[in-house]
Amino acid sequence: NAGVTQTPKFRVLKTGQSMTLLCAQDMNHEYMYWYRQDPGMGLRLIHYSVGEGTTAKGEVPDGYNVSRLKKQNFLLGLESAAPSQTSVYFCASSRLERTSTDTQYFGPGTRLTVL
């Protein structure tokens, strides 16, 4: 059981380049999330999705776009990368819970460097 997977694991971009990070989960979870982790700041929510075809902004959405065309996949896009987007990106997923919070399970992370 793979759980949550992310591709790529590492990437180096030049300022202004674009890229897409792919997250896939095989747990049939409704909810999916993208976080970024920066030193001394914990994880911050970028965007999330509560189901196929839906997306919503999190705490730090600027400069990112997302899409959830299939239930098992959640894509994070950077249209014009900036050095401030150098970070480690984590994807997570959780079950549908309308009146409580279910546990989020995380992927292994993608380390992105923008030069």
Partner 1 sequence: AQKVTQAQTEISVVEKEDVTLDCVYETRDTTYYLFWYKQPPSGELVFLIRRNSFDEQNEISGRYSWNFQKSTSSFNFTITASQVVDSAVYFCALSALSGGYNKLIFGAGTRLAVHP
Q: Which stretch binds partner 1 (CB under 8 A): 17-25, 68-76, 79-87, 106-114?
A: 106-114
Rounded to whole angstroms, the Cα distance separating 76 from 67 reads 7
Least Å distance, CB 94 to partner 1, is 6
**Of 42, 38, 36, 39, residue with least CA distance to 62:** 36
**Residue 87 main-chain phi, psi, to 5 deg:** -175, 175
Helix-then-strand count for the chain, H and E: 0, 11
Total residues contacting partner 1 by CB under 8 A comes to 28
At position 101, the amino acid (one-letter code) is T
Q: Can you tell me which of 41, 51, 70, 82 binds partner 1, judged by CB under 8 A?
A: 41
Q: Can you tell me which of 1, 2, 40, 69 binds partner 1, judged by CB under 8 A?
A: 40
Rounded to whole angstroms, the Cα distance separating 30 from 52 reads 8
**Position 85 contacts partner 1 (CB under 8 A):** no
In the complex, the residues that contact partner 1 under the rule CB under 8 A are: 31, 33, 40-45, 48, 50, 58, 88, 90, 92, 94, 97-109
